[in-house]
Amino acid sequence: MVDRKCAGCGKIKNREELIKITREKASGNIVINHSNKIFGRSAYICYNNSCVETAFKKNKIAKVLKASIPEDLKGRLLNEF
């Protein structure tokens, strides 16, 4: 089991319990990585709206990924999960 840290609340959880957001190595696109088959720099967030809100409010995802985040990503995360 591999543990990762939530960008929203900072809690350490198992990787399967978190949403993985990846900046693709080849293209630089920011994607929600459902399959874990996309390689690149990644950030993780818990499956709850408060963690998503906190991570975006404090710009933590952009800092972890070292990239600007698309405007629609927050809405997609809130709608999907």
Domain 3-67, CATH:
3.30.1230.10
CB 43 within 8 A of CB 3: no
Q: What is the domain partition of the chain in residue ranges?
A: 3-67
User: Across the strands, what pairs with 13?
Assistant: 4
pLDDT at residue number 35: 83
pLDDT at residue number 1: 65
- Output DSSP code: residue 29: -
- Along the chain (81 residues), what's the average pLDDT of each consecutive run of 10 residues? 90 93 92 88 94 92 92 86 73
Nearest Cα residue to 4 out of 45, 39, 38: 45
pLDDT at residue number 80: 78
